[in-house]
Amino acid sequence: MASLFDRLECSRGCGRAPEAVRAAGLCGCGAPLLARYRLDQAGASFGVASLRGRSASLWRYAEVLPGVPPVTLGEGFTPLVPAPRLGADLGLRRLFIKDEAVNPTGSFKARGMSVAVSVAAARGVRVAGAPSAGNAGSALAAYGARAGLEIHLFLPETTPAPFVAEARRFGARVRLVPGSIADAGRAMRESMGPSGDGGWLDVATLREPFRVEGKKTMGYEIAEQSGFRLPDVVVCPTGGGTGLIGIWKAFEEMQTLGWIDRRRPRLVAVQAAGCAPIVRAFGEGRETADPWVDPITAAAGLRVPGSLGDFLILRALRQSGGEAVAVDEAEMAEAAHRAGSLEGIDACPEGGAAIAALRRLRESGRLDRDETIVVFNTGTGLKYPSQAWGGE
């Protein structure tokens, strides 16, 4: 299972040629870098049949991941759960929940951090840091501990206490910062100085290229678990957007590999009404999103006022014929409760937001009852104090 990794490429296509061995950073133009692979050289050795018997983790797709020793805790290949009772409640006949809560540290953030930390460790990085609203910090702390890295986390003061305690149990050095994740990011860079190969590694969203590579495996799994017949609609809670960006990237790669045809699901990005920069920009027909002032939501992973990958998210939504939806706090709490009481899935507020968006789309006629729909529950609800987002 040799990696087909080839190079890093500017996501804006500015023409600069970054070295393929770079462990982190942005393009010289300030845009995120994306990993590219020699997919034309894959041949029969990396066909659909070659996946049989491989480990049930994201590293089963090693050819389209960086060729480094994995730092792994068993992340990926999460269940794609049929949700007939929730679907009936929503008027949908073919609803599936991709339950990311069963990942190590309880969220889909494990995917990106496994790959990013694997590359960092292989490159000799010893210190890494990130701002986080919760789950990403926990995942970085866990995988950093696994790799023997020193981890610094900068978390908003409003971060739920279970996330803070979890990160500290994994040995991370945690600093709480007033404001949002954007304020935490500024505090980190002021405190730690410039990131670089000779110092510390900035693992913030899209400031290094390999968290997307871990997240894209969700797209590969949706395809494989569906017999390589993609669903009609994929619904993603969207903060920084690495999940949605990665899934769209996976579909492009699988088409080049010949695993799927040109047909794509419609992508739906879901945000909180109190922090919806992508929804606002999509509705205004813009290619980038202005930062959201005073972001407010109990869904910590959606309390992201701006993303370096805003243009990639908006591009994927439009190319897929999809859309962006904002839901309020009561809607996401009620939807998470319905997922639990009807299907036994303990959805996080972000997952509740995605499920709430389904009701809105169905009631407005933008979802057909016979479409096949995959909705992401991105993490466990156990880390969120129930009173903070309407639970009992």
Lowest-pLDDT range of 219-228, 342-351, 382-391 = 382-391
Other beta carbons within 10 Å of 55: 14
Strand 80-82 to 94-99 pairing: antiparallel
Residue 390: pLDDT over 60: no
CATH of domain 77-392: 3.40.50.1100
Say which amino acid occupies 333: A
Q: What pLDDT digit, counting tens, does each position of 36-81 carry?
A: 999 999 988 899 999 999 999 999 999 999 999 999 999 999 999 9
Per-residue pLDDT, averaged over 323-328, amounts to 98
Per-residue pLDDT, averaged over 361-376, amounts to 97
Closest CA to 282 of 241, 325, 249: 325
**What pLDDT score does 385 carry?**
76
- 8 A C-beta contact, residue 347 and residue 214: no
Say which amino acid occupies 342: L
Residue 20: pLDDT over 50: no
Residue 21: pLDDT over 80: no
Residue 188: pLDDT over 60: yes
Q: What pLDDT digit, counting tens, does each position of 84-141 carry?
A: 999 999 999 999 999 999 999 999 999 999 999 999 999 999 999 999 989 999 999 9
Average pLDDT, the chain: 94
151 vs 232: CA distance, rounded Å: 40
Name residues whose C-beta falls within 8 Å of residue 52's C-beta, 6 or more positions apart in sequence. Answer: none
Residue ranges per structural domain of the chain? 5-64, 77-392
Query: pLDDT category, 18, cuts 50, 70, 90?
Result: low
**What pLDDT score does 79 carry?**
98
**What pLDDT score does 137 carry?**
97
Closest CA to 56 of 194, 174, 220: 220
Strand partners, 97: 81, 375
379 vs 134: CA distance, rounded Å: 11
Locate 206 and state its tokens: 């899209």
Query: pLDDT category, 386, cuts 50, 70, 90?
Result: low
Q: What pLDDT digit, counting tens, does each position of 271-287 carry?
A: 999 999 999 999 999 99
